[in-house]
Amino acid sequence: MLDYWTRNPDISFAFYAVPRNLKEGSIKKPIPSERDISILKRREMSRFNIFQYAMLNIFHPDDFLQRRDTKNSMYVLINKRNPDPLHLIEQLHKYLRSHTDLIFELDED
């Protein structure tokens, strides 16, 4: 990503930080217990937090506005060169609604 940004300095990024869905098959029991679901969600959040830490250390806040949707494990880096960041977020929201079952909800700061 850093190399791509170096070659394309106006680019912004949005990505699904934890692309695994919680499925019954991910646990050996036929029906996951509340405890099992809780453990798997904590693992997913741990990966997301590690990913966020990496992004903050690679892409400086002077260059990118960084936002996240922890419910869906989405991460958005909006290039501060972008004159209309809200429009970019609206475009992403519309794209996700038309191509996925995700409802994009940025965390409150």
pTM, full prediction: 0.68
DSSP-derived letter for residue 59 is S
Any domain includes 87: yes
Tokens encoding 88: 């970019």
Alpha carbon distance 45, 29 (integer Å): 22
Any domain includes 65: yes
pLDDT in tens, the chain (109 residues): 889 999 999 999 887 765 555 454 444 545 667 776 676 677 667 777 787 888 888 998 899 998 888 777 788 899 999 999 889 888 888 888 888 777 778 887 6
Q: How many domains does the chain have?
A: 1
Any domain includes 106: no
> What are residue 36's phi and psi, to 5 degrees?
-60, -45
Tokens encoding 3: 């190399």
Any domain includes 109: no
Any domain includes 108: no
Any domain includes 6: yes
Any domain includes 83: yes
Domain of residue 47: give its range.
Answer: 2-21+28-99
